[in-house]
Amino acid sequence: MYNYKLTGLYAITDATQRNPQQLIADVEQALLGGARIIQYRDKTTQHDQRCDTARRLRKLTRQHDALFIINDDVNLARNSHADGVHLGCDDLTISAARTQLGSDAIIGISCYNDFSLAKQATRNGADYIAFGRFFPSRTKPDAIQANIKTLQKAKCELDIPVAAIGGITTKNAATLINAGADMLAIVNDVFSHADIKAAAQRYQKFFTEE
């Protein structure tokens, strides 16, 4: 079933932010700016700290009626009562994640620039797919280059929400939305700004302006 909550600014936490208090504060500003989805991505800190941060982010996203997604870690998603998990090609399968998280969990899949992978993910029950990187990215500079045509093909042929990721700025955001992106997944051009709330507002306007 098409999930109509999967739209708008999809803010991904800055993995270089090692101060949990500051990370929480930054996410709150993104939510105040209109971010509709928050993904917690952290593969470096200790397990207990990650669990504590995830639980606090879960509480915060509920207060702002936003979705909360965990990157890669199904156990953390379950333990923090997150809305779901985002998986890459080397992570757990959709069916295995679904078994652990339940039928209502949101499961997103990175499809890079591979339409066949997106098609398979859709058949296997993914709730959304993500393509990227579309533009040069500071977060993942060596990531596979995605093509706008892959995004357009997915929107024409697959009935599933699509996220675009990688090097997105306010100068290229409209191109991706016009090609069919339901969500813009952004790290740096939200969390690198001194005024995170204003940065988030600039992106959310793309989804609210007629």
With cut-offs at 50, 70 and 90, classify the pLDDT of residue 61.
very high
Query: pLDDT grade, residue 63 (50/70/90)?
Result: very high
Interval 96-104 mean pLDDT: 96
Mean model confidence pLDDT for the chain:
94
Choose, from 80, 98, 110, 137, the residue flagged as catalytic: 110
**pLDDT category, 108, cuts 50, 70, 90?**
very high
| Catalytic site includes residue 133 | no
**pLDDT score of 1:** 59
41 is an active site residue: yes
Residue 43 has pLDDT above 60, yes or no: yes
For tokens 């499961």, name the residue.
107
Q: Spell out the domain ranges in the chain.
A: 8-208
For residues 124-133, average pLDDT:
96
The single residue of 18, 62, 138, 140 carrying the catalytic annotation is: 140
Residue 5, pLDDT > 60, answer yes
Between 44 and 112, residue with greater pLDDT: 112
Average pLDDT of span 73-79: 96
In order of 114, 116, 119, 156, 165, the CA distances from 132 in angstroms are 10, 15, 16, 18, 5
Q: Is 8-208 a domain of CATH 3.30.300.30?
A: no
Active-site hit among 5, 41, 78, 205: 41
Average pLDDT over residues 176-196: 97
For this structure, is 110 an active site residue? yes
